[in-house]
Amino acid sequence: MPKIVTETDRLQKRQAILDAAAAEIARYGYDRANVNTIAERAGIGIGTIYLYFQSKEDILGALLDSIGRAIDDIVQECLTQEISWSVRLQLLADAFVALAESHRDYLRVQMSALHGVNRDLGAPMSEWLRITISRLTEAYALASEQGLVAPLPPETLATLVFGTLDSFVLLPEVLSQHTDLSRSAQAVARVLWRGIAPEKSA
Amino acid sequence: MPKIVTETDRLQKRQAILDAAAAEIARYGYDRANVNTIAERAGIGIGTIYLYFQSKEDILGALLDSIGRAIDDIVQECLTQEISWSVRLQLLADAFVALAESHRDYLRVQMSALHGVNRDLGAPMSEWLRITISRLTEAYALASEQGLVAPLPPETLATLVFGTLDSFVLLPEVLSQHTDLSRSAQAVARVLWRGIAPEKSA
Amino acid sequence: MPKIVTETDRLQKRQAILDAAAAEIARYGYDRANVNTIAERAGIGIGTIYLYFQSKEDILGALLDSIGRAIDDIVQECLTQEISWSVRLQLLADAFVALAESHRDYLRVQMSALHGVNRDLGAPMSEWLRITISRLTEAYALASEQGLVAPLPPETLATLVFGTLDSFVLLPEVLSQHTDLSRSAQAVARVLWRGIAPEKSA
Amino acid sequence: MPKIVTETDRLQKRQAILDAAAAEIARYGYDRANVNTIAERAGIGIGTIYLYFQSKEDILGALLDSIGRAIDDIVQECLTQEISWSVRLQLLADAFVALAESHRDYLRVQMSALHGVNRDLGAPMSEWLRITISRLTEAYALASEQGLVAPLPPETLATLVFGTLDSFVLLPEVLSQHTDLSRSAQAVARVLWRGIAPEKSA
DNA sequence: AATGAATGAGCTTTCATTCAT
DNA sequence: AATGAATGAAAGCTCATTCAT
């Protein structure tokens, strides 16, 4: 009779590995994150890691997939709702703050992949990024046609949204400042909205 | 009789090492950049590197110092001039584009340090960042008092400027898009200006 | 109430493990043969292997014992019969061919142990080898006394018989040649017989 | 001025590594031979091994190439000389004994590759084997046409020569017997000659 | 009796750094 | 000053074995 291991158990352990990996990679970067340490953090043996993931790179892939999907969900959710773009931006900023507070390590891993590691390792991330950006671009184009927002080249939109929103989590950490993210989010959302609001003149 | 090596020679060789290192780190990330390859690229022997730098980390430090100073120079230059903030933002964006085009590798190294590697390694960079940001913040605060721009929490300003401007170089590369940076810069500068322009007094 | 497992069941399962192990070791060599794969091939769980054998090394021991005994049986059978040495050699060669065709994997494992792995692991095999060789040597000495064969140092006999007969299976495989073993056996037996036939008394 | 390392130095060090590797592989088999131990035996650092060889497998390749070429040289030398096949066999046997005494480890490595390790690792060896065997076969066929030796299928010849000659070194070791190889060689050469001598009857 | 998830010792290989020349 | 052969710590990964079920 085999040891009974429920699917839930498996998923929990898998998640424990991912969390431990995210913490290590966030702190030391992908290359310096040590698989032994990750196992230790996750409270399991080294070999066990390789029962759940094919390789260290595979772990990174899973992390990037997870955070990439989370961000895309947020964006999708914000775009789906029938609200003004002013509110939408606010919602988006708030959701980013929430994500930053619940999954700060994951967000830092994404950043790390975006800039710090070998390009091909970041593939799972840039796939999501492309999806999310095209989602944003499409919605924005529609709103622009309806005169709800000022027209904007698509790449500018992406730059604004990702460049700005991602910087929330990051800069305060790098500068060792302790900022109130929520307050900061409101300010940024307001600036962005004023920046993209349609021209008032008739 | 020791070979006479002029100060100029030394500086040229040092610069060759830095350029080679920037290229390697930009391509592979700090950890995977190979000191042997850097030496080869720079056209010198491996041992020679260690006559100019204490360690690989020291090279990174010098790179970050160099790019950090360059950015600070740009910002300082932009803030010094007696121009409207609308023009100033445009100038700043253009200067970033110019930097991205002349020192793309250095900029990518900065990004890599900002997100991808061990916090300690990024120290030389965050020092410059702090200097530059406080310079910006101060100037902005003054402008805000004079009613030239809308009031804004300092951390929001930093987020906007760095988050947005850094994203110029980056996102197109990650998404494998070929964008016209200059055009994009103009759009972003305009949006930023509209975002921070003072409320029109009725 | 413990499950009733007949002795036959045990032996069948044991044999299944041995066959699977022989196949794996023949293909990959002892060290690279994977116990997991062996279990899978045998259609049982990994843990079960260790109910039948103490260790991987123990499995190898059993294999070597099995093939060693089989070869000794063949030699003993050939030596027991009342036939001329000319026919005896032919019989021996044919029996080797039959063994090679029915138990090729086992034979390859023996070879692997003879040359490829740690000396200690080969102990169960060299024991049988010694027995078989002394059996051969003894019979040959008797025949030599009776003038049925030319006198020969014992180690030469062993070299000839084992060196030659073992090569049947092997060389064609290594050289990726497809040979008709039976025909080859006849030729070798003839050469050997001519080689050891007694000097014709003038 | 670079450290002057002569080609001779390089070759000596390379040879030291090969000798150490041969000793380790001969004792423990390829898979269990430890690269660290090989380096230690060779009196160098671990990293140095990888300045001379690409990988562990590459070392094995060099060993097999070396012993394969040595054997081929012996066979070629024996076949080139204008002597009777009776003497030729004697010469061959003696040369094998000499090789066995000067390069026993190499010979055991060859055996190990022939039987013990994954087939593809043995590629460099079977190439030489094919060359040597076709050399032998060709020469034998010619002699056979001239009536100097009895006709024999080519694969039988290969079996006899390699199977027999290789067994010299091996069996005594496996059986832990101390044999006088030279005396044994003579006996075997004689038997082989009688076995392949042309039929006397007109 | 049977299972297979879990383990961790041990392996090969890389690469920043040193130092004799 | 300049070199590059030599080094060895440290890393990711495998797989024989155990043991709770």
| Mean pLDDT computed over C126-137 | 92
Q: Does B132 touch chain A (CB under 8 A)?
A: no
* pLDDT higher than 50, residue B118: yes
Position B117 confidence tier, pLDDT thresholds 50, 70, 90? low
Compute the mean pLDDT over every residue in chain C, rounded to the nearest whole number. 89
pLDDT mean across residues, chain D: 90
CA–C1' nearest nucleotide, residue C2:
E1
The confidence score (pLDDT) of residue C61 equals 96
The chain D residue lying nearest C152, using CA atoms, is D187
Q: How far apart are CA B169 and CA D45, in angstroms?
A: 44
D146-152: which pairs have CB atoms within 8 A and are 24 or more residues apart?
Answer: D147/D198, D148/D84, D148/D85, D148/D198, D149/D85, D149/D196, D149/D197, D149/D198, D150/D196, D150/D197, D150/D198, D150/D199, D152/C187, D152/C191, D152/D196
Question: Percent of chain A, pLDDT > 70?
Answer: 96
User: Within 13 Å, how many C-alpha atoms sit on residue D33's CB side?
Assistant: 29
Task: Choose from A60, A67, A131, A164 for mutation: most chain B CBs within 10 A.
Answer: A164
The residue-averaged pLDDT of B114-122 equals 77
Residue of A nearest to B110 (CA): A115
Kindly tell me the sign of the dihedral angle through the C-alpha atoms of A30, A36, A38, A39: positive
DSSP symbols for C48-96: HHHHH-SSHHHHHHHHHHHHHHHHHHHHHHHHHS---HHHHHHHHHHHH
- Å between CA of D102 and C1' of E1: 55
Q: State what percent of residues in chain C have pLDDT above 90.
A: 68
Q: Which of A102, A193, A172, A196 is nearest to B156 (CA)?
A: A172
Long-range contact set of residues D149-156: C-beta below 8 Å, sequence gap at least 24: D149/D85, D149/D196, D149/D197, D149/D198, D150/D196, D150/D197, D150/D198, D150/D199, D152/C187, D152/C191, D152/D196, D153/C183, D153/C184, D153/C187, D155/C171, D155/C172, D155/C177, D155/C179, D155/C184, D156/C184, D156/C187, D156/C188, D156/C191
Write the single-letter amino acid at D9: D
Output the pLDDT for position B177.
77
Strand F contact nucleotides, protein CB < 7 Å:
1-21
Element spanning C118, H or E: none
Judge whether residue D163 contacts strand F, using its CB and a 7 Å cut-off: no
Eight-state DSSP code of residue D122 = G
User: Do B99 and B71 contact (CB within 8 A), yes or no?
Assistant: yes
Q: Minimal Cα distance from B112: which residue of A?
A: A116
Q: Specify the pTM.
A: 0.91
Q: Which pLDDT score is estimated for D115?
A: 79
Strand F and C32 CB separated by under 7 Å: yes
Give residue-wise pLDDT tens across range B5-19. 687 888 999 999 999
CB pairs under 8 A between C and D: 154
Is the CB of residue D57 less than 8 Å from the CB of residue D64?
A: no
Residue nearest F17 (alpha carbon to C1'):
C55
Nearest to A116 among B115, B152, B195 (CB): B115
Q: Is the CB of B131 under 7 A from strand F?
A: no
- B114 versus C42: the higher-pLDDT residue is C42
Structure confidence at residue C1 (pLDDT)? 43
The token pair at C24 is 């794996």
> In the prediction, which pLDDT does B4 show?
56
pLDDT of res. D202 = 42
Rg (CA), chain D: 19
B106 CA to E17 C1', in Å? 25
Across the interface, whether the CB atoms of C156 and D112 are under 8 A apart is answered no
User: Has residue A150 got a pLDDT over 70?
Assistant: yes
* pLDDT at res. C202: 41
- pLDDT over 50 at C2, yes or no: no
Of D67, D165, D116, which is closest to residue C115 (Cα–Cα)?
Answer: D116
The yes-or-no verdict on residue D4 having pLDDT over 70 is no
* Mean pLDDT lowest among A4-13, C7-16, C116-125, D46-55: C116-125
In this prediction, residues D168-178 reach a mean pLDDT of 78
The Cα A195–Cα A163 span in angstroms is 15
Q: Please check whether strand F approaches the CB of A45 to within 7 Å.
A: no
**Using 50, 70 and 90 to split pLDDT, how confident is the model at C5?**
low
Q: What is the pLDDT of residue D102?
A: 94
Q: What is the pLDDT of residue D3?
A: 56
Task: Kindly give the interhelix angle for C85-102 and C104-111, rounded to the nearest 10 degrees.
Answer: 100
What does the pLDDT read at residue B5?
64
Interface test with D, best of C174, C180, C184, C186 (most D CBs within 10 A): C174
pLDDT band at A111 (very low <50, low <70, confident <90, very high): confident
Which of chain C's residues have a Cβ under 8 Å away from the Cβ of D107? none
Test mutation, B159, B160, B169, B193, chain A, max A CBs within 10 A: B159
> What percentage of chain D exceeds 90 in pLDDT?
67
- Is chain C in touch with chain B: ≥3 Cβ pairs within 8 A? no
- Pick D173 or B50 by higher pLDDT: B50
For residue range A35-49, list pLDDT tens digits in order. 999 999 999 999 999
Average pLDDT over residues B165-186: 81
Per-residue CB contacts under 7 A with strand F, chain D residues 79-108: none
**Does residue B170 register a pLDDT over 90?**
no
Q: How many angstroms separate the CA atoms of A136 and C25, rounded?
A: 58
For every residue of A14-48, DSSP letters joined together read HHHHHHHHHHHHHHH-TTT--HHHHHHHHTS-HHH
Asked if pLDDT for residue B116 goes beyond 80, the answer is: no
The C-alpha atoms of residue C189 and residue B172 are separated, in whole angstroms, by 77
Q: Is the pLDDT of residue C48 over 90?
A: yes
pLDDT band at A72 (very low <50, low <70, confident <90, very high): very high
Contacting chains of A (3 CB pairs or more, <8 Å) are: B
Structure confidence at residue B201 as a pLDDT band (50, 70, 90) = low
Q: How far is the CA of B45 from the C1' of E20 (A)?
A: 15
pLDDT for res A169: 73
Our measurement of CA A48 to C1' E8, in angstroms, reads: 10
Determine the protein residue whose CA lies at the shortest distance from the C1' of F6. Answer: D48
Tokens of C35: 């116990």
* Residues near A159 by beta carbon (within 8 Å), at least 6 away in sequence: B164, B167, B168, B171, B184, B188
pLDDT of residue C162: 81
Residue A1: pLDDT band by 50, 70, 90 thresholds?
A: very low
Other beta carbons less than 10 A from residue A120's beta carbon: 7
Mean pLDDT of B18-40: 95
